[in-house]
Chains A and B, each alone.
Chain A
Amino acid sequence: MYTPHTDSEREEMLKAIGVPSIESLFEDVPAEYRFPRLNLPEPLSEMEVSAQLQELASINETTRDLICFLGAGAYNHYVPAAVDSILRRGEFYTAYTPYQPEVSQGTLQAIFEYQSLIANLTGMDASNASHYDGATATAEAAVLAFHHFRGKRTRFVVSPSVNPQYRAVVRTYMNGYENIEVIGDEAGNPFVSPQELLPLIDTNTALVVVQYPDFFGRVQDLTGFAQKVHEAGALLAVVVNPLALALFKSPGEMGADIACGEGQPLGIPLSYGGPYLGIFATRKDYVRKMAGRLIGETTDKEGRRGYVLTLTAREQHIRREKATSNICTNQGLMALAATLFMSLLGKTGLRQVAELCYHKAHYTAQQINQIPGFEVDLKAPFFHEFVVKCPDSVEAINEYLLDDGILGGYDLSKDYPALKNHMLLAVTEMNTREEIEILCEALKEYSHD
Chain B
Amino acid sequence: MTEPTIYELSSPGRVGVRYPQPDVPLSELPQELVREDLPLPELSELNVIRHFMHLSHLNYSIDSGFYPLGSCTMKYNPKINEEMARLPGFAFTHPLQPIETVQGNLALMYELQEYLKEITGFDAVTLQPAAGAQGEFTGVMIIRAYHKSRGDSKRTKILVPDSAHGTNPATSAMSGYEVVHIPSDSRGNVDIEALRAACDETVAGLMLTNPNTLGLFEEQVVEVNRIVHQAGGLVYGDGANLNALLGIARPADLGFDIMHINLHKTFSTPHGGGGPGSGPVAVKAAFKEFLPGPIVEVLEEGDEEMPPMFGFYQPTQSIGRVKAFHGHFGMMVRAYTYISMHGAEGLRKVSEYAVLNANYLQARLRGTYKIPYDRICKHEFVVEGVWDDAPGVHALDIAKRLMDYNFHPPTNYFPLIVREALMIEPTETETKQTLDRFADVMLKIAEEAHQQPELLHEAPHSTPVGRLDEVKAAKELVLCCWFPEQVKN
Which residues from chain B contact A320 at a C-beta distance below 8 Å? 166, 169-170, 179
Q: How far is the CA of A236 from the CA of B324 in the complex (A)?
A: 22
Report the stretch among A35-43, A195-203, A441-449 that lies at the interface. A35-43
Instruction: For the complex formed, measure the closest distance between the CB of B67 and the CB atoms of chain A, giving whole angstroms.
Output: 7
Give the docked Cα–Cα distance between A316 and B341 (Å).
35
- B247 pairs with A38, CB closer than 8 A: yes
Known: A93-B77, A347-B40. A330 touches B274 (CB 8 A): yes
**Which A residues touch B466, using CB under 8 A?**
102, 300-302, 304
Verify A318–B166 contact, CB threshold 8 A: yes
Assuming A49-B80, A169-B323, A308-B468, is B61 touching A90 (CB within 8 A)?
yes
Task: State which residues 70-104 of A face B: CB under 8 Å.
Answer: 70, 72-74, 76, 78, 80, 82, 84-86, 88-104
- Contact among B41, B77, B170, B467 for A326, CB-based, below 8 A: B170
CB of A172 within 8 Å of the partner chain: yes
19 contacts between A and B (CB under 8 A): A9-B432, A35-B249, A40-B343, A42-B343, A44-B343, A49-B80, A95-B59, A96-B69, A98-B273, A103-B408, A120-B39, A129-B274, A274-B323, A296-B479, A329-B274, A332-B274, A340-B48, A350-B38, A359-B26
> Which of B16-24, B227-235, B385-393, B441-449 participates in binding chain A?
B16-24
A172 CB contact (under 8 Å) in B53, B141, B414: B141
Q: Which 9 A-B pairs have the closest CB atoms?
A: A57-B89, A273-B325, A90-B63, A273-B95, A333-B272, A43-B343, A275-B276, A59-B104, A106-B59
B141 partner, pick from A49, A176, A249, A353, beta carbons under 8 A: A176
CB distance B249 to A36 under 8 Å? yes
- Which of these, A43, A80, A355, contacts B342 with CB under 8 Å? A43
Residues of A within 8 A of B299 (CB): none
**Does B108 make an interface contact (CB < 8 A)?**
yes
Cβ-defined contact, A89 with B16, below 8 A:
no
Least Cβ distance of A300 to chain B in Å?
4
Contact B89 A56 (CB under 8 A): yes
Distance of A61 Cα from B86 Cα, bound (Å) = 15
Knowing A82-B45, A345-B16, the reply to whether A62 touches B92 (Cβ < 8 A) is yes
Known: A74-B325, A247-B35. A13 touches B360 (CB 8 A): yes
Contact among A27, A106, A116, A319 with B480 in the assembled complex (CB-CB below 8 Å): A116
Does B92 contact A270, Cβ atoms closer than 8 Å? yes
Query: Is A102 in contact with B468, judged by CB distance below 8 angstroms?
Result: yes
What A residues does B16 contact at CB under 8 A? 80, 82, 343-346, 349
A359 lies within 8 A of B22 (CB)? yes
Q: CB of A10 within 8 A of chain B?
A: yes
User: Is A211 an interface residue when CB atoms closer than 8 A count as contact?
Assistant: no
A289 on the interface (CB 8 Å rule)? no
| B274 adjacent to A326 (CB under 8 Å) | no
Contact B356 A25 (CB under 8 A): yes
CB distance from B63 to the nearest CB of A (A): 3
Contact with A along B345-387 (1 / 0, CB 8 A): 1111110110111011011100000000001100000000000
Q: Does A311 contact B (CB under 8 A)?
A: yes
* Chain A: CB-nearest residue to B74: A96
- Among the stretches A130-138, A153-161, A224-232, A368-376, the one at the interface with B is A130-138
- Give which listed residue, B38, B63, B119, contacts A38 with CB less than 8 A: B119
Q: Is the CB of B481 within 8 A of A297?
A: yes
Question: Which of chain B's residues have a CB closer than 8 A to the CB of A250?
Answer: 35
Complexed CA–CA distance, A130 and B39 (Å): 20
Contact present for A296 and B477 (CB under 8 Å): yes
Asked if A96 contacts B45 (CB within 8 A), the reply is no
Given contacts A59-B107, A96-B67, A347-B41, is CB(A407)–CB(B94) below 8 Å? yes
Contact B428 A321 (CB under 8 A): no
List CB contacts (< 8 Å) of B1-46 with chain A: 2-3, 5-7, 10, 14-20, 22-27, 29-30, 32-35, 38-43, 45
19 other A-B residue contacts (CB within 8 Å) besides A133-B323, A274-B330, A429-B20: A13-B360, A57-B88, A57-B104, A74-B96, A94-B63, A94-B271, A96-B74, A97-B271, A117-B6, A168-B320, A176-B174, A248-B34, A272-B93, A296-B473, A298-B469, A301-B466, A330-B275, A344-B45, A363-B27
Which residues on the B side are within 8 Å of A315 (C-beta)? 166
Please give, as numbers and ranges, the residues of chain A lying within 8 Å of B325 by CB-CB distance: 73-74, 133, 165, 272-274
Taking CB atoms, residues of chain A closer than 8 Å to B222 are 30
Question: Given the complex of chains A and B, what is the CA–CA distance between A82 and B155 in angstroms?
Answer: 53
B110 shortest CB reach to chain A, Å = 11
The docked-state distance in angstroms from the alpha carbon of A343 to that of B15 is 10
Q: B451 an interface residue at 8 Å Cβ cutoff? A: no
| B-side contacts of A45, CB under 8 Å | 341
- Interface check B453, CB cutoff 8 A: no
Q: Contact flags (1/0) for B47-60 with A, using CB distance below 8 Å?
A: 01101110111111
Give the nearest-CB partner of B480 in chain A. A116
Say which residue of B52, B80, B253, B345 sits within 8 Å of A46 (CB atoms): B80
Q: Which residues of B contact A37 (CB under 8 A)?
A: 344
Q: How far is the CA of A219 from the CA of B409 in the complex (A)?
A: 50
